[in-house]
Chains A and B, each alone.
Chain A
Amino acid sequence: GEDVEQSLFLSVREGDSSVINCTYTDSSSTYLYWYKQEPGAGLQLLTYIFSNMDMKQDQRLTVLLNKKDKHLSLRIADTQTGDSAIYFCAEMISDYKLSFGAGTTVTVRA
């Protein structure tokens, strides 16, 4: 099974904020990532955070990192229908390899 864990589903109303949570296990991970995957497509890097940071904000996206609890979250402000997708949390483990969570399917309802 995955070492990175995420909740599987999230339903959110358009215009509200979405928060996706993730826990990881490798405390030596240097980079943590959020990727977006739309149906039938590859992965799009949304944002990443270096392990010595607590927070990173990039337009509508806010990443929070709690190293003590190995907890990572992604907040999407003002969620739009185009944000409906699967969101993967990932950590860089070794030799630039990435370990992915199972993905959170976000559904935005009108």
Chain B
Amino acid sequence: GAVVSQHPSWVICKSGTSVKIECRSLDFQATTMFWYRQFPKQSLMLMATSNEGSKATYEQGVEKDKFLINHASLTLSTLTVTSAHPEDSSFYICSARDPGQQYEQYFGPGTRLTVT
């Protein structure tokens, strides 16, 4: 199946700093990528939909100025957590949709963010 990678796998940053997470589709072009957040022992909550060449669409309650999403190419979307706080610590997972597939999204392995 198709492969989606995320980088870094885990990151520790200090409060007030910004951190960027990359999501790449390795063997297909993804016009749409999704960013999810997962708290320990909880479900995935959709944060935003990232569309190549246009602005991301954020879900209700997600601060767009705090979680900056850029989808500059058909294989790369980035999520930047700005002015990070400890409550931003979480597991961030991206998924990518292959336009040729009607039903499947391919998930990245996730990025563990810890803000100290």
Contact with B along A24-37 (1 / 0, CB 8 A): 00000011000100
Contacts of B49 in A (CB 8 A): 95, 97
Q: Which of B46, B93, B103, B112 contacts A43 (CB 8 A)?
A: B93
Contacts known (A42-B108, A42-B109); A97 close to B93, Cβ less than 8 A: no
The interface on chain A, measured as residues whose beta carbon lies within 8 A of the other chain's beta carbons, has a size of: 24
Contacts of A105 in B (CB 8 A): 41
Contacts known (A88-B43, A98-B46, A102-B42); A40 close to B112, Cβ less than 8 A: yes
Interface of A is mostly: strand
Query: In this assembly, does B32 line the interface, its C-beta being within 8 Å of a C-beta of chain A?
Result: yes
Q: Give the contacts of A32-87 with B (CB-CB under 8 A).
A: 35, 40-45, 48, 50
Q: Which of A30, A44, A96, A103 contacts B32 (CB 8 A)?
A: A96
Interface centre among A40, A42, A96 (most CB of B within 10 A): A42
Nearest CB of B to A26, in Å: 14
Query: In this assembly, does A92 line the interface, its C-beta being within 8 Å of a C-beta of chain B?
Result: yes
Contact with B along A89-110 (1 / 0, CB 8 A): 0001001111111110100000
Q: Which residue of B lies closest to A103 (CB)?
A: B43
Q: Which of B34, B104, B108 contacts A45 (CB 8 A)?
A: B104
| Residues of chain A at the chain B interface (Cβ within 8 Å) | 2, 30-31, 35, 40-45, 48, 50, 88, 92, 95-103, 105
Closest 3 A-B residue pairs measured CB to CB?
A: A42-B109, A43-B107, A42-B107
Some 24 contacts from A to B, beta carbons below 8 A apart, are A30-B103, A31-B102, A41-B109, A41-B110, A42-B6, A42-B107, A42-B110, A43-B44, A43-B93, A44-B107, A45-B104, A50-B103, A96-B32, A96-B97, A96-B105, A97-B46, A97-B49, A98-B34, A98-B44, A100-B44, A101-B43, A102-B42, A103-B42, A103-B43
